[in-house]
Amino acid sequence: MTERTHVHAFGDDALGDLDATGVAAAIASGDISAREAAQAAIARAELVNPALNALALRDFDRALEAADTPAAGAFSGVPTFIKDNTDLYGLPTGHGSQAVQPTAKRKTEPFAEQYLSTGMTMLGKTTLPEFGFNATTEYQSLPPTRNPWNTGFSSGASSGGSAAFVAAGVVPIAHANDGGGSIRIPAAACGLVGLKLTRGREVQSLQGKQMPVDIISNGAVTRTVRDTAAFVAALEKFRPAPKLKPVGEVAGPSSRRLKIGLITDSIAGDPTDADTAATVLHTAELLTSLGHDVVDFAVPTDHTFVRDFVHYWALMAFSTQYFGKVVTGDPFDRSKTDALTKGLARNFIRKPWLTPLSIRGLKRSEIRYREAFENLDVVLSPVLGHTTPELGFLSPAAGFDVMFPRLVNYVSFTPLNNAAGGPAISLPLGRTTNGLPIGVHFSAAHGDERTLLELAFELEAAQPFARIQDQHATGPA
């Protein structure tokens, strides 16, 4: 039996225990310099990456040079990482796949420009599973990215490297994106705040522009609600959303009491496990004690949604498998994709005629989602169908026929927000019996990130989030 422990990099350096807002304030006041913050983050990355394997690409020399003259913004000089499915000028984009032969990009893609307009110092790129298709950052034949709370477990995905580094204290904020839960899932696995924005809130991704239903949302994972709120406000300063009411500066909870719909089980199949269900029910009790009205609620869709989303997932894999050079812009060897990509692509080839039906179904989900919020302010549910699994459970090395049914049940709650375009946030409000974080999921009406952030501030104050640096090492895994 292999001993697995928690891993973190918090210490007595320029970053200390500060969140991104705190680091930005320390830099602005002159208590530390942006270079000192970058140097501390680099040292922390080098310290814990051998255990976590969250670093896809180092850009440390350029980062230190940039830190000497940090860009203006809400997070001026705060060190960060970008996920390795996002193009940055002069750097390759690997997409987590051995099938891609990455070359230096000639442009920074639009959302990356919006992200870096906050003034952050970019240190490099973080890991993701192949093309972001999985909900764990594991590979066919390479070492996985590990969860810092217990390195025998998954860090979630697809933004698993970013979540591992933020949870471990390497940086206080890192880029994440979400096509079916990939901000919220790793946030739940690693004990972080993960907000998926309303479709159209941020600059549209390059991939999303080409999709019949844009399910891609870009954002960040953080350790505090105030960092997520400040990040959203900073994005709006770069480019206000043209068709949405501004979120504005959210600095704390609201006095408004909400009507909240409670969901405990998904439509995918297996019932929610005991630890996750208990956390959601405890959160419902906490909300009631705070004066909110919590009522039972049914998922605003049915089993056809699972069919439609799985087929759309397969369509994306098919497009990547057979048109990889076009999708990535790099030389591509489809023989080197993993079992999940190949299996999804095969599933699409078997039923291509389902495509128009699934697209119509996903578009119809937006209508049903909007109707759900005619009489509710927020929906409360699990983030995931069960607690964070051990490494190997969702690995493509297990084979498609073994891991894919597991994957569908695991990610059963988050994809609806991607298809419908509504906002949702994961908050770390529970712990498993073996000490791993459990995330709780809150959804709101289109454009109503403010309500989610105000509620998140209230819950963070009522039940402060667990900190990895306060925990004892875990036992054997």
**pLDDT per residue as tens digits for the range 71-117:** 999 999 999 999 999 999 999 999 999 999 999 999 999 999 999 99
Whole-number pLDDT of residue 206: 85
Residue 136 near residue 154, CB atoms below 8 Å: yes
Q: Is 296 exposed, middle or buried (0-12, 13-18, 19+ CB in 10 A)?
A: exposed
- Residue 457's SS3 state is helix
Rounded mean pLDDT of 342-346? 98
Residues 6+ apart with CB under 8 A from 469: 8, 10, 17, 169
Q: Are 82 and 121 in contact (CB under 8 A)?
A: no
For the chain, what percentages of helix, strand and coil (3-state, to nearest 5) are there?
40, 15, 45
The residues that bridge with 217 in the sheet, in sequence order, are 178
Using the Cα atoms of residue 269, residue 273, residue 278 and residue 283 in order, give the sign of their dihedral: negative
Taking only the tens place, the pLDDT of each residue in 141-153 is 999 999 999 999 9
Q: How far is CA 5 from CA 106, 148, 160, in A?
A: 41, 8, 18
pLDDT of residue 327: 94
Q: Which is the catalytic residue, given 97, 117, 158, 443? A: 158
* Count of other CB atoms within 10 angstroms of residue 142: 13
In one-letter notation, the amino acid at residue 298 is A
Instruction: Name which of 42, 35, 41, 49 is nearest 15 in CA terms.
Output: 41
Residue 300 has what pLDDT?
83
For residues 125 and 162, is the Cβ–Cβ distance under 8 A? no
Q: What is the pLDDT averaged over residues 441-449?
A: 98
Residue with tokens 């602005």: 28
pLDDT of 3 over the 90 cut:
no
- N-term to C-term CA, the chain: 7
What is the pLDDT, as a whole number, of residue 268?
A: 80
Q: What is the per-residue pLDDT across 290-333, written as a single tens digit (0 to 9) for each?
A: 999 999 998 888 889 999 999 999 999 999 999 999 999 999 99
Question: pLDDT of 351-384, one tens digit each?
Answer: 999 999 999 999 999 999 999 999 999 999 999 9
Among candidate residues 97, 155, 162, 182, the one labeled active-site is 182
Instruction: For residues 263-276, give the mean pLDDT.
Output: 91
Please tell me the predicted confidence (pLDDT) of residue 279.
98
Q: In angstroms, what CA-CA distances link 320 with 107, 140, 195?
A: 21, 17, 27
Residue 451: predicted pLDDT: 98
- DSSP for 192-208 reads -EEEEPPTTSSPPPHHH
Residue 329 in contact with residue 94, Cβ under 8 Å? no
Region 162-175 average pLDDT: 98
- Predicted local confidence at residue 267, as pLDDT: 84
Q: Is 443 a catalytic residue?
A: no
Q: What is the mean pLDDT of the chain?
A: 96
Mean pLDDT of 25-46: 98
Q: Which of 83, 105, 125, 196 is catalytic?
A: 83
In the chain, what percentage of residues exceed pLDDT 90? 94
* 259 counts as catalytic: no
- Can you give the pLDDT at residue 207? 87
CA dihedral defined by 254, 442, 10, 139, rounded to 10 degrees? -160
> Is 162 one of the catalytic residues?
no
Question: Which has the closest alpha carbon to 128: 93, 99, 85?
Answer: 85
Q: In this predicted structure, which of 39-48, 138-147, 297-306, 401-410 has the lowest mean pLDDT? A: 297-306
